[in-house]
Amino acid sequence: MPHATNLNDRQREAVLTTEGPVLVIAGAGSGKTRVLTERIGHLVGDLRVSPYEILAFTFTNKAAREMKDRLERAHPGSTEMLWVGTFHSTGVRILRRHGDAAGVKRDFSIYDTDDSTGLVKAILARNPNDARFVKSPRVLRDRISRMKNDLVTPADAAERAISAGEQRIAALYAEYERDLRKANALDFDDLINKVVELFATDDRVRELYARRFRYVLVDEFQDTNPIQMAMIDGLASVHGNLFVVGDDDQSIYSWRGARVEHILEFEGLYPATKVIRLEQNYRSTKTILDAANGVIAHNLGRKGKTLWTDGEVGDKVRVTAALDEESEALAVIDLVKREVAAGTSLKQIAILYRTNAQSRALEDVFVQASLPYQIIGSVRFYERAEVRDVLAYCKAIVNPDDSINLKRILNVPRRGIGKTTIDQIEALAAERGTSLVDAMRAAASTLGAAAAARVHAFLVLFDELREMAATDVAPHVVDAILKSTEYHKHLEENYPDAEARIENIDELLSKAHGFAEGAETKSLSAFLEEVALVADVDALDLDSGQLTLMTIHNAKGLEFDAVVVTGMEEGLFPHYNSIDDPTAVEEERRLFYVGMTRARRRLYLTFAGMRRRMGMMEGGVPSRFLNEIPERTLEAPVEPLVSPTIYGGAWSPRRDYARSLRDEYAQPEPHEAYSQEAFAPQAPVVSGVHVSSHAPSSTGAVEHAYTIGMRIQHERFGKGIVRKVEGKGEQTRVTVIFDAGGERKFLAHYAPMRPL
DNA sequence: TGGTAGAGGCTTTTT
DNA sequence: GCCTCTACCA
């Protein structure tokens, strides 16, 4: 059997059991991606199944691409007809072909989270009395999204509403749905929702797909939500050859409506199910697995399994304490340096964290140290204002009914169409029940002459671009938008950081060019579709030779030789919002488990004694998860971490553990610039440091009386002059301009600094 | 209509 | 600490 060699018995069973429902419980690193790919290879290569009859769901586009690449190598030509993609991209594919039956027009636009929020905002503006029922447009949008994911319609919501507030929310939800239809737009949830609706209303279409796809495969099954489950169920309704792979211990998307129960209830739903468990791990060392197993064992709500490996024991897990987030970043650099010295390449190292906000402090220090890194997520490319502006032009051009995006660009760049004019046009649109563009075309009579002329000028430009988009390729249209609106000039005139913004616009343009080179359909609408569905991880380049920074959520499914999980503090990880809810803490624990099991050879954990949160410095306490790691897997000494005073009590830097590392960064010129070569592999170096505290030494409880103009001495940055003093008591912040150049802000209470 | 300054909210995680 | 919205003035 060409497709069952080099597999263990269980894996082979999973590959060869092609008929009927199969549930594979696949632990972290147990080779599930391989099983999925080999299984498709077996179907195509050995059983002569046409790729046309196979549909596979992956969690990201990147995973889909990788699976296709692997298959293409093994069976050239086989992937052309194969459908592999995310639920969302598969939904789009189906809706573009057969959406009509569910009332979806073929040329619909896709609203991303920002667009949806804009729509909700507009609805709330129309219903000022309802604002008191929701905290913010975003909260309402999330709530609507949750209902959609749970198959709750506006009518259901109205029926279930017990309070007046719930009644109104149901009404706003209904209005949101109406407005989406009016704008000929689908939000992310609709991309799946409408398929389910389609299957329910039109049996012929459902059967068309269900007959075609004799084999349906689902990866990351633990993170499917009810609406996705309904879509899967519809697709598997004819042949029943449904193969799902998941791990209940890695379920980390319940906040998005995902249900682990889908794993637990699968056998009940599909009675003939064959269950296969993959528990042998091929990724991590014995020590890392032991540590991860020890942590996840604290969860009560799990099916229970124990991963094992016959790999080597490996190095122990190292915990590093830092004074604040800056020292934490320095500690990370130090760990990276050691890894590189030991022969690990930068691209095989990942720095993970709970929240995107944590990346900033890391980045600041990495930049200073010239450490090459790539960051996934954070300020997302497609969410930058300038990129969104240009995309709004594209969206409005493709679909002029898209009032949200049309409104966004009406006066960007400034063309004298201000609030008053827009209000008038909107009123006219509401009065006549037409779209915004139509109201603009009709507005000449109601507007003043000057305003009417400006609106007319916009419409001329808009129509020209529309005409062009009907026939020309995406990059040309994007280029025409930029030229005709003099967008570069607009950026230069209005933003001090215009250069960076222009770079982003150029990148968008080059993405459009790249798209036109590779895609079959090169139209603007096809480009928008691609753009709407890309995830941040899709951009991850593991061959860039750089260090990778990302959230643990983004790291799902990936693996690295060395992994550093930062921010191991109560409140951050587990996060404040989860800390009072045992179920939520269990999900946080699973998230930590996912982070730990990304590591192949070495795992590092760091925490900071204090950290800036929304501008305020706050004290931190080591995460409870650290205490759950079996001591035998940790580098000694562990004592300070398991101290009974940890919870509740304020944490202070333990000077006993401030060791060699501190001195390294205590000099005035702390970050020697690490060139690319400095990070090239060298001969292994033996490290003797265990739990190390990364703390610029504290000055203790010295009274701080800084005044503007005062000369000061800072332990690390040398002499300087006080420029600004803000706040009082422990919160006193002092801004200093250093003689050596550079301005910095410190908390007077904590900074290693004294008046001269 | 546009520019600016100050207030207020925000950070969990994402297709 | 940063971004967005609002209020007010030119």
Residues A402-426 pLDDT 10s: 888 898 888 878 888 877 888 888 8
User: CA at A712, C1' at C1: how many angstroms apart?
Assistant: 24
Q: What is the pLDDT of residues A166-179, one digit of tens each?
A: 899 999 999 999 99
A736 CA – C10 C1', rounded, Å: 36
| pLDDT range class, residue A599, cuts 50, 70, 90 | very high
Is the shortest CB-to-strand distance from A337 to strand B under 7 Å? no
Residues in chain A: 756
A225 neighbors A263 (Cβ within 8 angstroms): no
Going along A541-620, which residue ranges are E strands? 547-551, 560-565, 599-608, 610-613, 616-619
Angular region, A680: left φ>0, alpha ψ -120 to 50, beta rest: beta
Is it the case that residue A223 has pLDDT exceeding 70? Answer: yes
- Whether the pLDDT of residue A442 is over 90: the answer is no
Query: Look-up: residue for tokens 């073929």?
Result: A106
* Positions in chain C where some atom is under 7 Å from a protein CB: 1-2, 4-5
pLDDT of residue A651: 33
Tokens, residue A720 = 């300087």
Would residue A12 show up in a list of annotated catalytic residues for this protein?
A: no
Confidence of residue A720 (pLDDT cuts 50, 70, 90): confident
- Sign of the dihedral defined by the CA atoms of residues A435, A437, A438, A443, in that order: positive
Q: How is residue A189 annotated by DSSP?
A: T
Of residues A653 and A56, more confidence is placed in A56
| A167: exposed, middle or buried (Cβ count in 10 Å: 0-12, 13-18, 19+) | middle
> What pLDDT shows up at residue A700?
33
How far out from the chain centre does Cα A445 lie?
48
**Separation between Cα atoms, residue A512 and residue A479, nearest integer Å:** 9
How far apart are alpha carbons A143 and A256 in whole angstroms?
Answer: 10
Distance between CA atoms of A24 and A34, rounded to whole angstroms? Answer: 13
For residue A464, what pLDDT band results from cuts at 50, 70 and 90? very high
> What is the distance between the alpha carbons of residues A678 and A270, in angstroms, rounded to a whole number?
56
Beta strands A83-85 and A54-57, pairing class? parallel
CB A291, CB A251: distance < 8 Å: no
Residue type, A586: E
**B chain positions with any atom within 7 Å of a protein CB:** 1-3, 9-15
**d(Cα A112, Cα A667) in Å, to the nearest integer?**
48
State the pLDDT at residue A692. 34
| Predicted local confidence at residue A663, as pLDDT | 34
Q: Which of A598, A601, A611, A733 is catalytic?
A: A598
What pLDDT sits at residue A215? 96
Q: Write the pLDDT tens digit of every residue in A338-390.
A: 999 999 999 999 999 999 889 888 988 888 888 888 888 766 677 788 888 89
What's the DSSP call for residue A544? Answer: S
Mapped to the 3 state alphabet, what secondary structure does A170-181 carry?
HHHHHHHHHHHH
Q: Is the distance between the Cβ of A251 and the closest atom of strand B smaller than 7 Å?
A: no
A386 with A505: CB under 8 angstroms? yes
pLDDT tens digits, one per residue of A47-98:
999 999 999 999 988 889 889 988 888 888 888 889 999 999 999 999 999 9
Shortest CA distance to A362 belongs to which of A595, A651, A611, A661? A611
What is the Cα–Cα distance from A325 to A612, expressed in whole angstroms?
Answer: 8
Residue A117's nearest nucleotide, by CA–C1', is C4
A11 catalytic per annotation: no
Average pLDDT over residues A550-575: 93
Q: Check residue A19 and give its pLDDT.
A: 95
Q: Which one is predicted more confidently, A507 or A19? A: A19
Q: Is A62 a catalytic residue?
A: no
* A565 backbone dihedrals φ, ψ, rounded to 5°: -100, 120
pLDDT tens digits, one per residue of A702-716: 345 676 667 777 766
Alpha carbon of A346 to those of A166, A546, A559, A675: distances in Å? 52, 5, 13, 13
Q: Is the CB of A553 under 7 A from strand B?
A: yes
Residue A250 falls in the annotated catalytic set:
yes
Residue A742 has pLDDT above 60, yes or no: no
Nucleotide nearest to A118 (CA to C1'): C4
The whole-chain average pLDDT of chain A stands at 83
